[in-house]
Structure 1
Amino acid sequence: MNTPVKTHVKALVVGGGAVGNGIAYHLAKAGWDTMLVERDELTSGSTWHAAGLLPLFNMGYATTHIHKYSVDFYKSLEAETGLNAGFAVVGNLRMAQCQERMDEYMLYSAVAESADVHHEFLTPAQIKERWPLLRTDDLQGALFHPQDGYINPADVTQAMAKGARQHGATIERKIQVDGYRWTGSEWIVSCTRMVDKGGNLIPSEESFEIHAEHVVTATGNHAQRTAKLLGIKIPAIPVEHQFIVTEPDPMLVEYRKNNPEHPVLRDADAKWYVREERGGWILGPYEKGAPSRFEYGVPDSFRADLFPLDLDRIEVEYMSMLHRLPSSENVGLKDDFNGPICYTPDGNPLVGPVPGLRNMWIAEGFSFGITAAGGTGYYLAQLMTQGEAEIDMASLDPRRYGSWMTTEYATRKNEECYDHVFVLHHPDEERPACRPLRTTPVYDKQIALGAQMGQVNGWERPNYYGPVDAPANFDHDARSFRRGEWWQYARAEAEAMRETAGLIDASAFTKHSVRGAGATAFLDWFTCNKLPNVGRINLTYALTPTGTTRTEYTIVRHAETEYYLVSAGAWTAYDADYMRKSAEDFIAGGGAPVEINDVTSQWGVFALAGPNARKILREVVRDADPDSVLSNKRFPWLTARKLELGMCPVNAIRVAYTGELGWELHHPIEMNRYLWDLLLKAGEKHGMKLVGARAQNWLRQEKSYRAFGNELGRDATPMEAGLDRFIDLSKDFQGKQAMIDTGIRAKCVTVLIDGPTDADPWGREALFCDGKKVGRLTSGGWSVAFGKQIGMGYVPPELSAVGTKLKVKMQFQEWDAEVVEDSPFDPKNARIRVDG
């Protein structure tokens, strides 16, 4: 007879793989009454057939911390639980066949150093000396992580499960979740007891409900079923991943008599990993053409099953293993595995709150679930129990995908992501699948003028304008870890913005309308700056409950109770969900009604800026006094006015993200083509140049303008970001006291760098002082104003003074850097305020 299940818990974790158990462990350790339910047996999903690799290598700051925590945490489990997690700390050797791959490793090195991940660089000769079975004559070198390796997925999952129980968690197997219902204060989760009959898992007649204040889903391959139950979209869809196991290799067996085990081997340019397995080898390829599976849900008949092997699909990778390990050429195949592994469109898992739902959290889409399980549990538990994690988790937030995301999009992008595991990941990487998808009406005109497009939140936007007759693969071939061929075009655009004028398509900006009787009181509480008067604008910030920066807004006040909010284009759903939930809290606390609408797709935006910007607008503005309508008297800096540009009504905002005289021209999207043609014709005789996102990024750093997702995030307060002038401490606002209590742990600074002649920082590099790592860059690029590299980042307060000498790590060398005043270009904003 089955033991009755607990019916009331603080937190319910759904899913018993490595990720789910990692979450249950850390929630229980944090003191929450936690229960985990699994529809089958623990590890019966992708966990059981995972290769168990623990690579520390990752280009993302948050994901690097997650992987590092996992590796350290797994080493401590046996002492705590008495269970050996099967961690073979053999290291990880990531080989490079070309210099560009070594450049990638050098950029990674900067990320690793900022997160204190130990790593080494090895020459081909050093590799051959240590591991003579490897062929190294065609290698450039390798990156070596001596502290990671591989682990037994089932063992580490059981160890975390035992640790969770030791901290008070309950773990129940053979329980399927069939529904979720939110009462306003708790989730009621409908469950069914599952039974095993003849190898099939079927529902029994026993059903019951579990009441939980919080729910976390970690359902792996079953994410699409979870999405349907919750009425949401989760772009986590499995892709086939196969690996093969060879018979014992006699030369390997002989080598191991007097030598330690090989590290996990990765030939990134050949797109595979290899590790030892009982005297033989495991080969795991990341080949082209691996298909997605279970786009609409896992069949009930699929349990711990596998797919047929497709050896033809991995022939190239198999032959390259024989090339790299000649001793394996005559070794037979012993076993094979082809199972589903979840992916997401960008490769990062989905970890955090569910949009539109309260106290519902997901941890889905883990392609490296064993590596991430421990760290995900640690940082997600911080999010849930403390309000925020110690690192900014925005890059993993489920709300980075909006409602425009479809099943086909997720399927195709996830297949592409699998194929791109070992592709060179340039910082300016743009992946082609599912593009173009979201376009403004002038997309075709921009392409005809040489626009090389990037993608942000599904929107196409120009990164830079290359040759008009550029071949289709121009942008791909122009990428580099140094200064690619695109660099000269971005520099020319930045120079034009400083010398004449530039036009930027900023239509991807997120835009919200906030109105209603409670709008003013709500925004006053929701943001930290004074609200603007009617017709004026303000830059302000919404804070997290822990006092860090949640979102940056430009607020335009159209009327007493009517506001227009502009924020970063990459974060539309992320911003909308936080604002709406905050408004619900405000109204529940007695506030008057607030109406919030996402109007992003209704308004196009062209940013016109530069010394000649006023002259260009005067060519097209329709007004009784066109010579003065754009003057400082009638249209001062930081104001908004309704203008008519030709036949196009425009909400014009006098602000420019580049630090020049300029306006943002918000216009009805259906007039996008008309206004584009009008501005290009008017700008021709004034030297106006089309400008992309890369030049804009350089220019805003010359003005020390912080960017959300770079300098601004959930791991730093606005005061630490140096935004004191945008904080009104005389009023109450969300997160105020927490911000004050946090104090100043680090300060945001701008640095000018005497760097290499062929590369610029990307904003991932470590900062050093007197040989000690003291901080990291969050942005980087080239300054046309100063003729050298520029960057922004965080350092201890005592190192933030103007004139402080630092070092920036680039290309495995340290380069001189100096802290300069904020807004080193035009610090008094004379160019922005110029009249005429």
Structure 2
Amino acid sequence: MKTHVKALVVGGGAVGTSIAYHLAKAGWDDVMLLERDELTSGSTWHAAGLLPYFNMSYASSHIHDYSIKFYKTLEAETGLNPGFSVVGNLRMAQSQARMDEYMLYATTAETVDIPYEWMTPDQIRERWPLVRTEDLVGAIFHPTDGYINPADVTMAMAKGARQRGVAIERRWQVDGYHWTGDHWDVTCTKMIEKGGNLIPSDEQIVIHAEHVVTATGNHAQRTAKMLGIKTPAIPVEHQFIVTEPDPALVAWRKENGEHPVLRDVDARWYVREERGGWILGPYEDGAPSRFRYGVPDSFRADLFPLNLERIEQEYMDFIHRIPSTENVGLKDDFNGPICYTPDGNPLIGPAPGLRNMWLAEGFSFGITAGGGAGYYLAQMMVEGEAEIDMASLDPKRYGDWMTSEYATVKNEETYPFLLKLHWPDEERPAARPLRTSPAYDRQAKRGAQFGQVNGWERPNYFGPLDAPQDYDEKTNSFRRGGWWQHAVDEAKAIREGVGLIDATAFTKHIVKGPGAEAFLDWFTTNKLPKVGRINLTYALTSAGTTRTEYTIVRLRDDEFYLVSAGAWTEYDSDYLRKAIEDKEAEFGRIEVQNVTTQWGVFAIAGPKARDVLKSVICDPDPETALSNKRFPWLSARQIELGMCPVNAIRVAYTGELGWELHHPIEMQNYLFDLLEKAGADHGMKLVGARAQNWLRQEKSYRAFGTELGRDATPLEADLPRFVDLSKDFHGKAAMEKIGIRSTCVTLLIDGPEDADPWGREALYDLAGTRVGRLTSGGYSVAFGKSIGMGYVKPGGNAVGTKLQVKMFDKLWPAEIVEDSPYDPANATIRVDG
């Protein structure tokens, strides 16, 4: 058995074997996989093996697409049949809202070249007469997916990995990880079987690994504790039942071949054929989490007792949809643990705070995602970055504030939500409120409807006073929901008067010390600002793509205040700290502090913003204190608003005259009351994140996680003014080598009267050829129509170019407009007074 390897993969399920296979295929010739029991003995063995394409995430769509295509190649390579039945997948809809969801998904699917077909109830009944259709609106059909045998596909990947030189060792349990400074020492114990249980033997070895990947499935909590990190990956019970043969199905198959997988998502179940009968898998309410603190040593390939009462409604709905099953008996049942995360997406990428430690945990669709997860994680490890932006799946999207109780509550919520309607603006209620700024209660009493970002409660919009928090169709829709008019009014308030936005969730760091200036000059793309000034800039990946967007305020010669997106605090902090560790010996001592929770932020913006602040600023000459001469655009000053000291930054994400007011968080309620009272004389309105998102698109302000990400460079985002090519910076050579593969543009869209794009839609030219995709979308109060931002192919980005946007299965006219179509000269933002 090897004791020195380049990469050690821990976990022998579908995900772990895929990672080992793809690392070897990518050129790493010294890879080992360890499994504490037998291959497939975790959740893989009791998985139903479905391979659904359907996913609202752009990154996950790529992962699922790769898996489905890859699995079809395994038999030719390995000689092992993975048991892939390409029978298709029919996803039915009982409502127009569900069809709207499918149409939003479909336009995203087109950007990944995923094939699909629309079907009417009559077409379904004609093609698959066992299905009752009178209460259906329609369906989407994926002809190229189906289901696979989980054990067989895992064994095929394992054989392919061995053929490429991977060593696979079973019955070895990892009991400790130690980072030496240049490699991991991994302590492993040989497991032996005794009385049906696996127990540790006295045999131990230490494996020296340059890289480690954990794909430990249900054991993720144990893994996290050994690594000294936190993870939200906690299993939830998933049960499915197998029926006796259905005579009607057996008869139908004799003439027609195998039946497709069926999903009645409004009834929250799936079914597929199984030896003449059916496998029914429900996603019911009340499924409990398991193994909150770790899997018991006695639990192997075990199951839990079936709870038929919990799935009674789903079972009755199954009989309703396929009437021939009413008198079919039950043959078998399964109730096993499957790992979940609070948002239902896996954790793929570098572990927080650790070097060369990679996580592949929390897969609720491990079979579907296994192939693609291995492929794209191997790209990150071998090449430094994946070809798609994997940030949405990064393990660091959950910070240290996350606890096992939070993960448990959210994962139990996520499970039944799997097949519920997923509005693009959905906000789920479990475990909330949790992280709140001091002004939370005040804003709630003003009608704030909150969203959650990185655990923070942040107003999305302000509705009727004392309205309860709504998380359903009363306010949400795939079209213009009940919140839409409120957001319109808030956006107009900023364009025409003044609005106040709570931006406390912003990520904030202090970087200071003798080496701070040289480090940040190397770490970011733009020139560093002078003392009292600010700059927008980017930190790049080693592959030259955009890793983080920063607003940098220079407080002193050797002290800088960095502001970045609120959703990415741990993500940004980890990257920043690791970069400092790497370069401190070269540049000199550098201190970094995450001060996110120490400073609250209010953004005040609009033509009357200066008037509001004039009335409360403490200054010998309040009339000139906020003038262009004393407080110019893109500058920062220490001011006093009443009794509150404020680090004020003259910048506004909305593109109007405005300031960000960074204040001691313990004084937030005082400052809120002060500004609210002063703003009353000027009609100031409280404004939420949705209106702000629309307004920033009118200014073509790119946002991290949409226009900005690890699959595009700042130059492709058309931001050369923030890239100083005269200096050297991290990722510069790689960025220049990439060139321009696509270009970010802003479009005005003549879309449906009752809907706006969400930023997931495909873009076509007038000839019907797909030329790009939207990354953001919304409504423009300045132009009275829909607006969007996105990427198009090189040469197709000229202002005035006519395009079409795919929405609700139709193409709608759009036109590329100049950057910052609202106030392109920035006259309003620089206005004096």
Shorter chain as denominator, the TM-score bin is over 0.9
Aligned counterpart in structure 1 of residue 456 of structure 2, from 451, 454, 459: 459
Residue 688 of structure 2: aligned partner:
692
1:483 and 2:480 correspond: yes
Write the letter of the residue equivalent to 2:91. Answer: R
Q: Deviation at 1:688? A: 1.1
1:706 and 2:702 correspond: yes
Residue 17 of structure 1: aligned partner:
13
**1:218-229 mapped onto 2 (5 Å cutoff):** 218-229=215-226
Count of paired positions: 831
Q: Deviation at 1:470? A: 2.3
Aligned counterpart in structure 2 of residue 503 of structure 1, from 493, 500, 506: 500
Residue 265 of structure 1: aligned partner:
262
Instruction: Specify the SS of the correspondent of 1:149.
Output: coil
Change (3 A) 1:490 1:373: same
Q: Map Cα deviations across residues 587-628 of structure 1 (whole Å, 9 max, x no partner).
A: 24x220111110000000000000000000001001001000
Tell me if structure 2 keeps the 8 A contact 1:36–1:172.
yes
1:648 and 2:644 correspond: yes
Residue 185 of structure 1: aligned partner:
182
Aligned counterpart in structure 2 of residue 163 of structure 1, from 152, 160, 163: 160
Instruction: Extract structure 1 runs of 4+ deviating beyond 2 A.
Output: 469-476
Q: Map Cα deviations across residues 519-542 of structure 1 (whole Å, 9 max, x no partner).
A: 111100000000000000000000
The CA distance in 2 between the partners of 1:446 and 1:329, in whole Å, is: 53
Instruction: Specify the SS of the correspondent of 2:615.
Output: helix
The CA distance in 1 between the partners of 2:355 and 2:466, in whole Å, is: 51
Q: Deviation at 1:260? A: 1.6
The CA distance in 1 between the partners of 2:663 and 2:200, in whole Å, is: 56
Q: Deviation at 1:254? A: 1.1
Q: Deviation at 1:472? A: 4.3
Tell me if structure 2 keeps the 8 A contact 1:475–1:486.
no
1:746 and 2:742 correspond: yes
Residue 737 of structure 1: aligned partner:
733
Write the letter of the residue equivalent to 2:733. Answer: Q
Write the letter of the residue equivalent to 2:203. Answer: E
The CA distance in 1 between the partners of 2:605 and 2:693, in whole Å, is: 14
Residue 348 of structure 1: aligned partner:
345
Q: Deviation at 1:774? A: 1.0
Instruction: Specify the SS of the correspondent of 1:616.
Output: helix
Q: Deviation at 1:471? A: 3.9
| Percent identity between the two aligned chains | 76
Residue 97 of structure 1: aligned partner:
94
Tell me if structure 1 keeps the 8 A contact 2:427–2:471.
no
1:371 and 2:389 correspond: no
Write the letter of the residue equivalent to 1:832. Answer: I
Instruction: Specify the SS of the correspondent of 1:53.
Output: coil
Residue 216 of structure 1: aligned partner:
213
Residue 596 of structure 1: aligned partner:
592
Residue 398 of structure 2: aligned partner:
401
Q: Map Cα deviations across residues 483-538 of structure 1 (whole Å, 9 max, x no partner).
A: 01110000000011100011000000000011111111110000000000000000
Q: Deviation at 1:365? A: 0.2
The CA distance in 2 between the partners of 1:486 and 1:615, in whole Å, is: 29
Write the letter of the residue equivalent to 1:656. Answer: A
Tell me if structure 2 keeps the 8 A contact 1:452–1:475.
no
Write the letter of the residue equivalent to 2:629. Answer: K
The CA distance in 2 between the partners of 1:321 and 1:574, in whole Å, is: 43
Aligned counterpart in structure 2 of residue 28 of structure 1, from 18, 24, 32: 24
Write the letter of the residue equivalent to 1:794. Answer: Y
1:631 and 2:627 correspond: yes
Q: Map Cα deviations across residues 198-219 of structure 1 (whole Å, 9 max, x no partner).
A: 2111111110111110000000
Tell me if structure 1 keeps the 8 A contact 2:429–2:471.
no
Residue 762 of structure 2: aligned partner:
766
Residue 726 of structure 1: aligned partner:
722
The CA distance in 2 between the partners of 1:712 and 1:213, in whole Å, is: 31
The CA distance in 2 between the partners of 1:474 and 1:136, in whole Å, is: 29
1:553 and 2:550 correspond: yes
The CA distance in 2 between the partners of 1:341 and 1:304, in whole Å, is: 12
1:203 and 2:205 correspond: no
**1:406-421 mapped onto 2 (5 Å cutoff):** 406-421=403-418
Q: Map Cα deviations across residues 90-119 of structure 1 (whole Å, 9 max, x no partner).
A: 000000000000000000011101111101
Aligned counterpart in structure 1 of residue 308 of structure 2, from 296, 308, 311: 311
Q: Map Cα deviations across residues 760-786 of structure 1 (whole Å, 9 max, x no partner).
A: 000000000121111000000000001
Write the letter of the residue equivalent to 1:276. Answer: E
| Stretch deviating more after TM superposition (189-198 or 475-484) | 475-484
The CA distance in 2 between the partners of 1:327 and 1:609, in whole Å, is: 63
Instruction: Specify the SS of the correspondent of 1:416.
Output: helix
Residue 58 of structure 2: aligned partner:
61
The CA distance in 2 between the partners of 1:127 and 1:56, in whole Å, is: 19
Tell me if structure 2 keeps the 8 A contact 1:659–1:832.
yes
Residue 676 of structure 1: aligned partner:
672
Q: Deviation at 1:256? A: 1.0
Change (3 A) 1:471 1:235: closer
**1:232-381 mapped onto 2 (5 Å cutoff):** 232-381=229-378
The CA distance in 2 between the partners of 1:691 and 1:804, in whole Å, is: 33
Residue 38 of structure 1: aligned partner:
35
Q: Map Cα deviations across residues 299-323 of structure 1 (whole Å, 9 max, x no partner).
A: 0000000000000000000000000
Aligned counterpart in structure 2 of residue 493 of structure 1, from 490, 494, 498: 490
The CA distance in 1 between the partners of 2:177 and 2:273, in whole Å, is: 44
The CA distance in 2 between the partners of 1:59 and 1:683, in whole Å, is: 41
Aligned counterpart in structure 1 of residue 227 of structure 2, from 230, 247, 254: 230
Instruction: Specify the SS of the correspondent of 1:282.
Output: strand
Tell me if structure 2 keeps the 8 A contact 1:501–1:613.
yes
Instruction: Specify the SS of the correspondent of 1:483.
Output: coil
Instruction: Specify the SS of the correspondent of 2:306.
Output: coil
Instruction: Specify the SS of the correspondent of 2:696.
Output: helix
Instruction: Specify the SS of the correspondent of 1:335.
Output: strand
1:445 and 2:430 correspond: no
Q: Map Cα deviations across residues 35-76 of structure 1 (whole Å, 9 max, x no partner).
A: 000000000000000000000000000000000000000000
Instruction: Specify the SS of the correspondent of 2:451.
Output: strand
Q: Deviation at 1:751? A: 0.4
Q: Deviation at 1:476? A: 5.2
Residue 385 of structure 2: aligned partner:
388
Write the letter of the residue equivalent to 2:349. Answer: G
Q: Deviation at 1:474? A: 7.1
Instruction: Specify the SS of the correspondent of 1:419.
Output: helix
Instruction: Specify the SS of the correspondent of 2:22.
Output: helix
1:787 and 2:813 correspond: no
Q: Deviation at 1:359? A: 0.2
Write the letter of the residue equivalent to 1:566. Answer: V
Gaps of 5+ in 2: none
Instruction: Specify the SS of the correspondent of 2:828.
Output: helix
Q: Map Cα deviations across residues 630-673 of structure 1 (whole Å, 9 max, x no partner).
A: 00000000000011000000000000000000000000000100
The CA distance in 1 between the partners of 2:24 and 2:297, in whole Å, is: 31
Tell me if structure 1 keeps the 8 A contact 2:94–2:136.
yes
Residue 128 of structure 1: aligned partner:
125
